[in-house]
């Protein structure tokens, strides 16, 4: 819908929890690359897009209460509060244009599906009440293409960078590639290996562990499309937040 622009994951939580979550992101830059942080109660986020209304400009949101996802909605205006702080985090969708431009197929795009996402047994670095497992996305490739995909994606640190694992899903606690925790399954064909990238859904697992009374995230796969060109984040370690 807006090819060439950075896509972002979203976490919105009360100001009382924002400092700990910011520390969690900085301790876990692979799954939580910071693109922008809002001011309490501010529905805009100029760091990623002009004239943004964070309450309405994503196609889908999840409402969390006491660490449980209770509602999926397309408008969070009724849930908005003056103490809420918005965090925009990088997304692996942002480097997929580079994969396609290089002639590397992206299976879930070919099939018109959401990317498969899995909770792993890899722990994240805890900060405050935030802890939990790393969540990963999976894209299957033949070994030679996997190497090319690694070299391309590592140029996009704000879109999770290079993969965190490949070839042996059971080594990171994934028992069934056909049954992702989020998103849609995609086949791994003979001669291919699964390649796993860190995923911005990781904070949703951390929110479950923290059991905050209230928080909001994007619905997995329903991203914020920013005004930041993908070319701007090539080789950039972190935008100003």
DSSP track, 46-57: TTTBTT--TTTS
Tell me the domain boundaries of the chain. 5-233
Mean pLDDT by 10 residues, the chain (241 residues): 87 98 97 97 96 97 97 98 97 90 96 97 98 98 97 94 97 98 97 97 94 96 92 71 53
d(CA 134, CA 203): 9
Any idea which residue has 């996305």 for tokens? 137
Tell me, rounded to whole angstroms, the distance of Cα 219 from its chain centroid: 10
pTM value is 0.93
d(CA 74, CA 200): 19
d(CA 74, CA 60): 5
pLDDT of 234: 83
d(CA 241, CA 229): 17
Any idea which residue has 């928080």 for tokens? 215
Assign 37 to helix, strand or coil. strand
Beta-carbon contacts of residue 20 (< 8 Å; ≥ 6 apart): 127, 128, 129, 130
| Cross-strand pairs, 182 | 117
Its CATH class, for the domain covering 5-233, is alpha beta
Closest by CA position to 46, among listed 57, 58, 38:
38
pLDDT of 237: 67
């Amino acid at each position: 819908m807006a090819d060439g622009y950075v896509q972002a994951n979203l976490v919105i939580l009360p100001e009382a929890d924002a400092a700990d979550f910011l520390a969690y992101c900085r301790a876990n830059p692979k799954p939580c690359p910071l693109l922008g942080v809002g001011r309490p109660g501010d529905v805009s986020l100029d760091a990623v897009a002009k004239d943004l209304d964070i309450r309405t400009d994503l196609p889908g949101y999840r409402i969390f209460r006491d660490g449980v996802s209770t509602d999926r909605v397309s408008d969070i205006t009724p849930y908005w509060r003056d103490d809420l702080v918005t965090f925009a985090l990088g997304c692996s969708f942002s480097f997929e244009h580079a994969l396609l431009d290089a002639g590397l197929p992206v299976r879930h795009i070919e099939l018109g599906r959401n990317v498969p996402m899995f909770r792993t047994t890899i722990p994240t670095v805890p900060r405050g009440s935030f802890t939990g497992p790393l969540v990963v996305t999976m894209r299957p490739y033949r070994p030679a293409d996997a190497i090319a995909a690694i070299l391309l994606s590592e140029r996009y640190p704000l879109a999770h960078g290079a993969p965190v694992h490949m070839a042996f899903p059971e080594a990171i606690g994934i028992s069934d590639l056909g049954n992702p925790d989020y998103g849609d399954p995609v086949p791994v064909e003979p001669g291919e290996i699964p390649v796993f990238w860190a995923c911005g859904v990781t904070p949703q697992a951390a929110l479950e562990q923290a059991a905050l009374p209230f928080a909001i995230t994007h619905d997995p796969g329903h991203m914020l499309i920013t005004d930041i060109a993908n070319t701007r984040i090539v080789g950039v370690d972190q935008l100003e937040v």
